[in-house]
Amino acid sequence: MQTAKKKTAVVPANTTREISGAVAILEALVAEGADTIFGIPGGASIAIYDALYDYGDRLKHILVRHEQGAIHAAQGYARSSGKVGIALATSGPGATNLITGIADAMIDSTPVVCITGQVFAALLGTDAFQETDIINISGPITKWNYQITDATEIPSVLAKAFYIARTGRPGPVLIDITKNAQLQLFKYSGYTKCNHIRSYRPKPIVRTSYIEQAATLINQAKKPMVIWGQGVILGNAELEFQAFIEKSGIPCAWTLLGAGAIPSTHPLNMGMLGMHGNYAPNLLTNECDLLIAIGMRFDDRVTGRLDLYAKQAKIIHLDIDPAEIDKNVAATVPVWGDCKETLPLLTKLVQYKDYASWMATFARYQQDELEVVIEEQLYPGTGEITMGEVIRHLNELTMGEAIIVSDVGQHQMITARYARFNHSRSNITSGGLGTMGFALPAAMGAKYGATERMVIAVAGDGGFQMNIQELGTIMQNKIDVKIIVLNNRYLGMIRQWQELFSDSRYSFSDLESPDFVAVAAAYRIPGKAVHQREELCTAIAELVAHQGPYLLEVLVKREGNVFPMVPQGYSLSEIRLK
Amino acid sequence: MSINITEGNSLREYNITVYSENSVGLSGRITGIFTRRKINIESLNTSPSEISGIYRFTILICQSYCVTQKLLRQIEKLTEVIKVYCHTDEQVVWQELALYKIPAQATKAARVDLEKILRIYGTRAIALEDNYTILETTGQRQESKKMLEVLSPYGLIEFVRTARIAIIKESSGFIEKLREFEAGS
């Protein structure tokens, strides 16, 4: 066995020597602390891959089966680790295959740097083989992008790319590098990290007057409610957030991507917001007298009908992105800034109050939801297996310690509602874009981003098939990802909408799937299918205990619905329990 | 950004001034912010600014105050945009340049008329060729509109008008602001 080599750059930083653009790219990645890259080589990135051949001791490259797998893996890596994820693709189709994941990273504020190969600079604009104008294509869905045509630009542009991707409100950056620049030799004088761009202000300046105004509103409130989003996690402000709610004693609820910022079992945690969120926080959004929104962006799936959203309440909005303030919901007091900085300032000024009667209102609605929805979902007793009871068993077996990566649809909502998270960065899912096919590759990336943690992908039968090819990546790299396919033989959420709003006209939502266990077996991934309730607990225990990748298919209730539900276009007050 | 515009939801003209780095593709990113909301840009001009290396976009839109505010913040969020300002027509001095090509025989046949036009409307003749004449006006929308009416009897061959450019009455220049950004404050 080889001893681990010290992770230093190949090229000493203080000497000037000639290196290729391709080597300069890898030097930049090493200098930025990258350890894992997800990608596939192609004609316009072959020079980078040639250089990568000598960097095996410093950069782990995971060969995916499709570029969409690479970008989702990079997202999963970023979400579980808090570091910048990296995807590497060639020009043309390689680059365009990244697009869905880039859009996903943009709307979910995930820091990723995508490096795409491009045709020779001399061929740009000539419809050359595998040429595509990826800069224009990716423009609206990247935080920044840039095309490099000369190798000398590589160190400074990549330094900017990493700086922009990870700072402020994070997001995806795409750097397109022409083949001539990859091959070009130039005098390299080391890599300098970027920490300032004059036209880019990652964080707005904190205005103490707004903090004071916000504190006054909080101290005067009788029925306040905190709603938080992923901003708390992206800002590494979980402790600051917990300190704030504990000092003030204010009940709080989370958006889909905010889940896990504080433990699911925290006594002030009132559950999930939005279309399939919990009954109490949705109804009470329209009854509270003060809404304190922290690192969330009032997505339409959270607000329901906007002109009937929290009209009775004053609104305090804490956000790092000034463009989010007043975008959907007008703020009474805008608290611009990084919540890691603003929350402690606010905590200092707020007083503890006992909101016993207000909390009792939450408890009453929680009881309603428990009786009508939750009992039946988690403890059905007879009939077909429900998605909820699968998640309940998973909670009991993992004790809330696992990272759960869910796909998109009914199972995603059920997972978000019922999965227990003890730690931040445990809930990974495609929120804003709702990208089916996200879970499997994102779970691979999440595992590389948090190697010591158990990673479980939960997907439906529809979404699982949208990036099913990544089973090959899992096989080749023996990635320890547990996969649960909740199979209801439908595109379940679509079927639910068709049942509720289109007179059960199941137009093209009925799905015939392959034998998933046999497919996994073809990739030499062991697995099991469960059809009976009696087998379920043991089967999940086997999955959790298994060393290495494993697939468990559970045949679940064919026409199960996710409730509560706020129908699209309706006010939160019209939330339905059935 | 400066918020010195009267509140309201009614549509009116706003002159947006964007100070930015000079970078390839930025105009596409800026226009994308309007087009994704299906908002028409009435006119867009890019030019150097009072500071070397800093570019200046002048964008004219007809929108409500509320929507305009959201657009401004999204433009300012772009990495290469330094600062965005927004003003009503009353808060800026603005001009457009227009060129008109008419047949030479028309001007020959009505020489006196043409001289009168030049005098009355402050129009300049900038090219007198054998078969055509090119006239130029600088001013506001109603001036070029009027000229089109006046010249139409002579047979207008070509007409073109530039985007609006605007100078902010109250601005004392961008250099101080830029220093703040360079210092990272």
**Is beta strand A481-487 parallel, antiparallel or unpaired with respect to A550-555?**
parallel
Give B70's contacts in chain A (Cβ within 8 Å).
323, 326-327
* pLDDT at res. B8: 63
pLDDT digits (tens, 9 = 90+) for B102-159: 998 877 766 667 888 888 888 999 998 989 999 999 999 888 999 999 998 888 999 9
pLDDT-derived band of residue A9, with 50, 70 and 90 as boundaries? low
β partners of residue B56 = B19, B47
**Domain ranges across chain A:** 17-188, 208-361, 385-555
Helix (H) or strand (E) holding A215: helix A208-220
Is A199 close to B20, i.e. CB distance below 8 A? Answer: yes
* pLDDT at res. A12: 58
ipTM confidence score = 0.90
CATH 3.30.70.260 in chain B: give the residue spans.
12-90+169-183
Any B CB within 8 A of A496 CB:
no
Any B CB within 8 A of A323 CB:
yes
* pLDDT at res. A98: 98
* pLDDT at res. A430: 98
Judge contact between B108 and B24, C-beta under 8 A: no
User: Average pLDDT, stretch B27-38?
Assistant: 95
pLDDT digits (tens, 9 = 90+) for A159-199: 999 999 999 999 999 999 999 999 999 999 999 999 999 99
Q: Domain A17-188 is in which class?
A: alpha beta
User: Average pLDDT, stretch A36-60?
Assistant: 97
* pLDDT at res. B185: 59
CATH of A208-361, one of 3.40.47.10, 3.30.70.270, 3.40.50.1220, 3.30.950.10: 3.40.50.1220
Is A136 close to B178, i.e. CB distance below 8 A? Answer: no
Mean pLDDT of chain A: 96
pLDDT-derived band of residue A258, with 50, 70 and 90 as boundaries? very high
* pLDDT at res. A11: 59
Judge contact between B13 and B58, C-beta under 8 A: no
* pLDDT at res. A14: 57
Is A323 close to B77, i.e. CB distance below 8 A? Answer: yes
pLDDT digits (tens, 9 = 90+) for A428-468: 999 999 999 999 999 999 999 999 999 999 999 999 999 99
Q: Which residues contact B78 (CB under 8 A, 6 or more apart)?
A: B20, B26, B29, B30, B33
Owner of token pair 């603005």:
B94
Give A199's contacts in chain B (Cβ within 8 Å).
20-21, 79-82, 181
**Is beta strand A224-228 parallel, antiparallel or unpaired with respect to A290-294?**
parallel
User: Average pLDDT, stretch A123-148?
Assistant: 97
Distance, CA of A145 to CA of A131 (rounded, Å) = 17
pLDDT digits (tens, 9 = 90+) for A294-343: 999 999 999 999 999 999 999 999 999 999 999 999 999 999 999 999 99
pLDDT digits (tens, 9 = 90+) for A205-221: 999 999 999 999 999 99
Long-range contacts of residues A378-382, Cβ cutoff 8 Å, at least 24 apart: A378/A418
Give the residue from chain B lying closest to A161, CA to CA.
B79
Q: Domain B12-90+169-183: give its CATH code.
A: 3.30.70.260
Residue A20 C-beta-side C-alpha neighbours within 13 Å: 17
* pLDDT at res. A498: 98
* pLDDT at res. B114: 80
Of B76, B103, B94, the C-alpha closest to B161 is B94
* pLDDT at res. A557: 98
* pLDDT at res. A15: 64
Burial classification of residue A50, based on how many CB atoms lie within 10 Å of its CB (0-12 exposed, 13-18 middle, 19 or more buried)? middle
User: Average pLDDT, stretch A282-290?
Assistant: 98
pLDDT digits (tens, 9 = 90+) for A87-129: 999 999 999 999 999 999 999 999 999 999 999 999 999 999 9
List the catalytic residues of A. Answer: 67, 129-130, 179, 493
Residue B84 Cα, gap to closest chain A Cα (Å): 11
* pLDDT at res. A117: 98
* pLDDT at res. A4: 44
Q: Domain A385-555: give its CATH code.
A: 3.40.50.970
User: Average pLDDT, stretch A407-434?
Assistant: 98
Burial classification of residue A349, based on how many CB atoms lie within 10 Å of its CB (0-12 exposed, 13-18 middle, 19 or more buried)? middle
- Same CATH fold assignment for domains A17-188 and A385-555: yes
User: Average pLDDT, stretch A357-375?
Assistant: 98
Q: Domain B94-161 is in which class?
A: alpha beta
The proportion of chain A whose per-residue pLDDT surpasses 90, expressed as a percent, equals: 97
User: Average pLDDT, stretch A536-565?
Assistant: 98
The proportion of chain B whose per-residue pLDDT surpasses 70, expressed as a percent, equals: 92
Any B CB within 8 A of A222 CB:
no
pLDDT digits (tens, 9 = 90+) for A230-249: 999 999 999 999 999 999 99
Is A198 close to B182, i.e. CB distance below 8 A? Answer: yes
* pLDDT at res. B115: 83
pLDDT-derived band of residue A379, with 50, 70 and 90 as boundaries? very high
B73: nearest CB among A144, A199, A323:
A323
* pLDDT at res. B5: 43
Any B CB within 8 A of A139 CB:
yes
* pLDDT at res. B6: 47
Judge contact between B24 and B175, C-beta under 8 A: no
